[in-house]
Structure 1
Amino acid sequence: MADFGKKTFFRRKKTCPFTGDKAPAIDWKDVKTLGRYISERGKITPSRITAVSNKKQRELAQAIKRARYMALLPYLRQEGEQRSYENKYDKRS
């Protein structure tokens, strides 16, 4: 018997945010864009969560590592510490 009470789950295909006509370029100097792909503990977020393609994930990881080396991004952060590269007064929630 068919169970009519359950809805089928439809997962939308994720697209890479760095591919396309108007996609931003991955640059180690663009700290605000790179900060979106770093977790709260300072780890690089995996591509299965961010939907970045394999090629762009490698470029992104290299850019984050370069920005860390140039002291634009922290290697790791404490739990309560706020990101210094983000606007402290930005109240988008």
Structure 2
Amino acid sequence: MREEKKDKGWKKSNLNYKRKKCPFESGVMKIDYKDPRTLQKFISERGKIMPCRISMVSSRKQRALALAVKRARYLALLPYVSD
């Protein structure tokens, strides 16, 4: 005989989940290539730019963030690879 498959739908605990908001949307933080401390928060231990699904940055701000990180690397404010 066959066993009935369990329902793999959403659970109630997942319905109350709120996604984190973009830290740049509130206006507290600004994207600036001259501020390596802010940019360092969005770079992994290996020196890679974190994806927006992990850093919770909106896609528009993620593109601006990537551009700022690349500019800061070019000006030697940030390393290309972490040691």
* Distance in 2 separating the partners of 1:70 and 1:43: 17
1:11 to 9, 17, 30: 17
Q: CA deviation at 1:77?
A: 1.5
Q: Could you tell me which residue of structure 2 aligns to residue 87 of structure 1?
A: none
- Percent sequence identity over aligned pairs: 56
Q: Could you tell me which residue of structure 1 aligns to residue 45 of structure 2?
A: 40
* Distance in 2 separating the partners of 1:37 and 1:52: 9
Please tell me the residue identity of whatever aligns with 1:63. Answer: A
1:53 counterpart = 2:58:
yes
- What TM-score does the superposition give when structure 2 sets the normalisation length? 0.78
Matched residues, number: 72
Q: Which runs of 4+ in 1 moved over 3 A?
A: none
- Hey, which of these two has a bigger chunk of helix by percent? 2
* Distance in 1 separating the partners of 2:17 and 2:36: 31
Q: Could you tell me which residue of structure 2 aligns to residue 70 of structure 1?
A: 75
Root-mean-square deviation (CA, aligned residues, Å) is 1.6
* Greater C-alpha Rg: 2
* Distance in 1 separating the partners of 2:75 and 2:39: 14
C-alpha offsets along residues 30-71 of structure 1, whole Å, 9 cap, x if unaligned? Answer: 000000000000000010011100000000000000000000
Q: Which 5+ residue runs of structure 2 have no aligned equivalent?
A: 1-10
Q: CA deviation at 1:11?
A: 2.5
* Distance in 2 separating the partners of 1:54 and 1:8: 27
